[in-house]
Amino acid sequence: MQIDNEQLLQPVDEQVRSGPNLEYTPEFQSLEELARPRQERALGAGILVPEAPQWRQIAESAEHLLVRSKDLRLGILLSIARLHQDGLLGWSSGVGLLRQLLEQFWDDVHPHLDADEHNDPTERVNAIAALADSERTLTQLRNVRLFKGLHPGHFSLRDLRIVQGTLKLAAEDVDEMPEPAAIDACLRDCPLEALLDMDAALAAAQDDIAAIAGVFAERTPGHGPELAPLTHDLGELRAFLRPYVSERSDSPADPTEHAASGADSVSTSAPRAHALEHPDDVRRMLDQLCDYYAQREPSSPVPLLLRRAQRLIGLDFAALMRDLAPRGIEELQVVSGQDHSD
């Protein structure tokens, strides 16, 4: 039986809210072994394909350990298990749990900051970075089937990229080419509630990822997990869904959003479906620009400048000056009568 996030966020004890570190207990180590990625290996003249991890068992074990210990590593394993079990809806709830663990238990959530190294956050950063790990999370996120069991045209982010031409199939894989008409029919004919739930889950995940990055930016400035690939994937997927959500829910469409009009529109609607209305939208756009240069002009120095610009989004004037012109902030403090030596 699944334990909901509210129960998992209950403090373990009034004195030690996060409970003990269970990292070296047999239960924790057994859970990590269950979830460890397994590779194909040669066996004589053939290939031995490993059995898939038992994700239901992994989810249950992670939940029971989280009741005893608030640990980001357990939260990561739970989110991955929910992704495999319940798709994007389950995974989104796992991301929300990680956000709350950071916001509610920062002072003592496991893994702890390294007190012997001036509260070095490396272990905590590495734990959260698994959210955007290519092997453990992103590959499954890009291949998970949306609306599976609700419509025969269920599809994945990978399918969308193939249809839109941003992902090229090898010649031997052309039989896997998804049908644009099937994707369009799925989004038009699947239960409206399912479409709205998917959109809400993606929106919640976007907000939670931004909040997680914000916690590290505030608590450990300059030391945080690299979540840009994940942010990009979520933005791309939601931008594709939004025209259908607007059309089918009778909500006013944004002037820049164009509802798909038949199968031919599937390959063209997503790039223009999202207006820039929020700083997170700007961050996602900069991610896309960096992706372009990585694919088309990998030797270009432009992404370095774009990434720096991305870091400056949301900073106040003093913080901008401190980043762009450190000497300038000293002069500003003198002129304004502030004692910068305090």
pLDDT digits (tens, 9 = 90+) for 155-188: 999 999 998 888 887 765 666 778 899 999 999 9
* 55 and 190 fall within a common domain: no
Among 86, 107, 139, the domain-final residue is: 139
Confidence band, pLDDT 50/70/90 cuts, at residue 322: low
Residue 306 lies in a domain: no
* 118 and 261 fall within a common domain: no
* 24 and 67 fall within a common domain: yes
* 135 and 154 fall within a common domain: no
Range of the domain at 62: 1-36+50-139
30-86 confidence digits (pLDDT tens): 999 999 877 766 666 677 666 889 999 999 999 999 999 999 999 999 999 999 999
Confidence band, pLDDT 50/70/90 cuts, at residue 260: very low
* 253 and 132 fall within a common domain: no
Write down the mean pLDDT value for the chain.
Answer: 84
Tell me what pLDDT residue 289 has: 84
* 165 and 291 fall within a common domain: yes
| Higher pLDDT, residue 101 or 275 | 101
Residue 333 lies in a domain: no
* 155 and 280 fall within a common domain: yes
Among 139, 166, 195, the domain-final residue is: 139
pLDDT at 269 exceeding the cut of 60: no
Residue 337 lies in a domain: no
Tell me what pLDDT residue 256 has: 35
* 195 and 55 fall within a common domain: no
Tell me what pLDDT residue 90 has: 96
* 207 and 240 fall within a common domain: yes
Tell me what pLDDT residue 301 has: 75
Residue 312 lies in a domain: no
* 97 and 199 fall within a common domain: no
* 148 and 133 fall within a common domain: no
Residue 58 lies in a domain: yes
> CA dist 209 to 147, 174, 232, 281, 296, Å?
23, 35, 11, 13, 27
State the total domains in the chain: 2
Residue 76 lies in a domain: yes
* 90 and 62 fall within a common domain: yes
Residue 267 lies in a domain: yes
111-148 confidence digits (pLDDT tens): 999 999 989 999 999 999 999 999 899 999 999 999 98
Residue 87 lies in a domain: yes
| 82-102: average pLDDT | 97
Tell me what pLDDT residue 265 has: 44
Among 83, 113, 139, the domain-final residue is: 139
Number of C-alpha atoms within 13 angstroms, CB side, residue 198?
A: 29
State the pTM of this model: 0.72
205-233 confidence digits (pLDDT tens): 999 999 999 999 999 999 999 999 999 99
